[in-house]
Amino acid sequence: MAILNPAILALTLAALAVSLALLPAAVFSLRVLRQWDMDSGSERQLGLERSTYLISTLVAFAFAVELIALLLFIYNAEALSTQFVGAMCATGVLNVNGYGWPTLLLKVLIFFAAALWLQLNRLDNRGEDYPLTRRKYGLLLAIAPLVWAEAAVQTLFFLNMNPEVITSCCGSLFSAEGSGVAAEIAGLAPREAALLFFGGGLTVLGLGAWRLWRGRGGIPFALGGIGAFVTALMGIVSFVALYVYEHPHHHCPFCILKAGHGFIGYGLYIPLFAATALALGAGSAALHRHVPSLRAAAALEGLRSIRLAMIGFVWFYALGLWLVARSNLTLTEVWW
């Protein structure tokens, strides 16, 4: 089944292509870390400078594929839910074997790392002396093993899919009566969940407004973005999902991706992930604002990232508030 599924074939080929593309990039990264010297006019240095254009383009393409692959992986997991006994959504598919959740977690981690690298590369290209070359290729060396691990774990996930296995549904995992982190999040009181959800939003938006007004605070905004991402995911499970399903005990963060709910989950997750990645980019720009050749570029890139991130966060929290307001479910303990 796994081999003949078009989406699985696409994900497997994409993982293979990205893994192969990062092999020469990793080797080149080692050369850069050992030999890069912008003060040198040697033939070796000129060769490295010329090669960076090709390698950077190759890596940028590979990471763009990785960003798309995360979305396709989640969509495919949701689509496969009808082929496994006990699966009602992507949760059941990820529970088919022990490789589903590790694959998803690796993909999320690579998504943010790749987005950060792409923004770092963009900033480095704005400097006439390419001052961040060593740093971005050092980061690439850290990301490459994650990509190779993700390709291996994803392959094991697909190869070990057994349609005869009775998997567990989202009700058993995201249940206040269950055990584990997911159950603890689902068991949060509605008022606490609402405070976490909207508190994280007000914090990150306030930090963003401070940065735009005062011209400093990019790193706190990045940290606020990370915090907002975590509390937003917790809030979706313990608070927002209840209003989407109009059921006080349905906490699944994946069922909101279904057509029956208007694919509303994509409208929440895509701006949330994009805004968080941009917040990380704003923090990176702030860290490099003291580099002489990047002072102006870092300031501009930081402002650009913060503005776009703010749009994403406003979209996410406005949609979340709208989902709560339009719902027929009333959880009175949230408000008093």
End position of a domain, from candidates 167, 192, 214:
167
Q: Give the residue, 261 or 140, on which the prediction is more confident.
A: 140
87 and 27 within one domain = yes
| Other CB atoms within 10 Å distance of the CB of residue 47 | 12
197 and 157 within one domain = no
Query: For the chain, how far is it from start to end, CA to CA, in angstroms?
Result: 51
96 and 28 within one domain = yes
330 and 298 within one domain = yes
Which pLDDT value is given to residue 184?
Answer: 79
Q: For the chain, what is the domain count?
A: 2
226 and 112 within one domain = no
135 and 177 within one domain = no
**Which DSSP string do the residues of 183-227 spell out, in sequence order?**
HHHHTS-HHHHHHHHHHHHHHHHHHHHHHHHHS--HHHHHHHHHH
37 and 17 within one domain = yes
The single residue listed with the structure tokens 């792409």 is 118
66 and 140 within one domain = yes
**Which DSSP string do the residues of 105-146 spell out, in sequence order?**
HHHHHHHHHHHHHHHHHHHHTTSTT-TTHHHHHHHHHHHHHH
Q: Please state which of the ranges 25-34, 182-191, 224-233 shows the lowest mean pLDDT.
A: 182-191
Q: Express as a percent the part of the chain with pLDDT over 90.
A: 51
Which pLDDT value is given to residue 149?
Answer: 97
- Which of the given ranges, 53-57, 95-99, 318-322, has the highest pLDDT on average? 318-322
162 and 219 within one domain = no
End position of a domain, from candidates 119, 149, 167:
167
Question: Mean of the pLDDT values across residues 167-176?
Answer: 70
End position of a domain, from candidates 167, 188, 210:
167
Distance CA 41, CA 302 (A): 32
134 and 33 within one domain = yes
Residue range 191-219, pLDDT digits in tens: 888 899 999 999 999 999 998 888 777 89
CA dihedral angle for residue 184, residue 190, residue 191, residue 194, rounded to 10 degrees: 90
Which pLDDT value is given to residue 335?
Answer: 47
Which pLDDT value is given to residue 167?
Answer: 77
Q: How confident is the model at residue 336 (pLDDT cuts 50, 70, 90)?
A: very low
202 and 308 within one domain = yes
| Other CB atoms within 10 Å distance of the CB of residue 131 | 17
What crossing angle do the helices spanning 218-235 and 295-326 adopt, rounded to 10°?
A: 20
Q: Is 130 left (phi over 0), alpha (psi -120 to 50) or beta?
A: left
What residues make up the domain containing 277?
A: 169-336
198 and 161 within one domain = no
Distance CA 10, CA 113 (A): 22
Residue range 101-159, pLDDT digits in tens: 999 999 999 999 999 999 999 999 888 888 999 999 999 999 999 999 999 999 999 99
